[in-house]
Amino acid sequence: MSASADNAIAAAFRDHRRMLWGLVYRMTGSAADADDLVQETFARALERPPARTDIPLRPWLVRVAANLARDRLRRRRRQAYTGPWLPSPIETHEPPAFEVKDEGIDTTGRYDLMESISYAFLVALEALKPQQRAVLLLRDVYDYSVRETAEVLGLSEANVKTTLHRARRAMQSYDRAPTVPDEALKERTRRALEGLVHALVTQDLPRLEALLLEDVRETSDGGGEFLAALQPILGRAKVARFLTKLTQKHGMATRAELRELNGLPALVAEFADIGPRYARFFVLRCDVDAEGHIAALHSILATRKLSAVQRFAEA
């Protein structure tokens, strides 16, 4: 391939890299996979380029990235995983770095860009089969037409319509109470996490239980790397007891701060020395109801899941 063709591909990749990253992240729920597969997309573009480079290359790049992500998701679901699987959190305290507002993307789909990287949305996507997930993202987030979606995924237009119908049906429980990370929800989430930390520091069990809904669910993802609950913990009393015992055993984190992850505040924390079987660096996030009570807690511990969360600077 000529140097001019290489330069055209490199320029197209540079222009669309962040959009490709966002698509693959939504497809896989993994920031580390998004890093890997976007780089693989570029490598494939150089090794096996499209027949023509004098036409827009974005559709071709999207096709390669989407299909790599679809294959990665299929492989991940065929493999055994220790304990519950949770999506990777990403930092969003600034406008998402992987979304480009000036390249002509008009995301007027069913879900907007920020909502579609919310943790609740990513968790809901786990109910979809890989092909359903790809179709729903292209149609309802990136606002691709039926024809464009069919071309990207190598499907018939009829198949795209049927797959989208099934995907939307699987998302109905999310759609009944969508979690759009607006300022009111951010404030409720921030207050809930601050209250949770205070209750644990003071070992105030009644206050801790008052923060939790009766049917609260705590889910931990250690990925087999660190000790973690292998099943979700259900119910106010059990979750409060679990958190209290953890605090009694390990104490409070040496460093901790609230950061905006996936559009909402989350606790990023680090222990100085906790032993090799326990996660030293972790993220704790929550979902809250309209009154600010905690409905779900997610503890993300596995190192690979935290590749997009900045570590604390060395003291």
pLDDT value at residue 1? 52
Residue 129's domain spans which residues? 3-175
Question: Which 8-state DSSP code applies to residue 218?
Answer: E
Regarding whether 187 and 171 lie in a shared domain, the answer is: no
Q: pLDDT tens, 267-310? A: 999 998 888 899 999 999 999 999 999 999 999 999 999 999 99
Looking at the domain assignment, is residue 311 inside a domain?
Answer: no
Regarding whether 115 and 200 lie in a shared domain, the answer is: no
Q: pLDDT tens, 189-235? A: 999 999 999 999 999 999 999 999 999 999 999 999 999 999 999 99
Beta-carbon-side half-sphere exposure of residue 120 (alpha carbons within 13 Å): 22
Q: pLDDT tens, 112-161? A: 888 999 999 999 999 999 999 999 999 999 999 999 999 999 999 999 99
CATH at residue 260: 3.10.450.50
In sequence order, the 6+-apart residues with CB closer than 8 A to the CB of 293 are 192, 211, 212, 213
Domain boundary among 119, 140, 175: 175
Regarding whether 86 and 7 lie in a shared domain, the answer is: yes
pLDDT value at residue 101? 44
Regarding whether 102 and 124 lie in a shared domain, the answer is: yes
**60: exposed, middle or buried (C-beta count within 10 Å: 0-12, 13-18, 19+)?**
buried
- Number of structural domains (the chain) is 2
Rounded to 5 degrees, φ, ψ at 227 are -65, 130
Residues 268, 131: Cα–Cα separation, whole Å:
33
Regarding whether 108 and 147 lie in a shared domain, the answer is: yes
Q: pLDDT tens, 84-105? A: 999 999 999 765 444 544 344 5
Domain boundary among 134, 152, 175: 175
For residue 242, what pLDDT band results from cuts at 50, 70 and 90? very high
pLDDT value at residue 7? 79
* Position 62, amino acid: V
* Bridge partner list, 84: none
Regarding whether 283 and 140 lie in a shared domain, the answer is: no
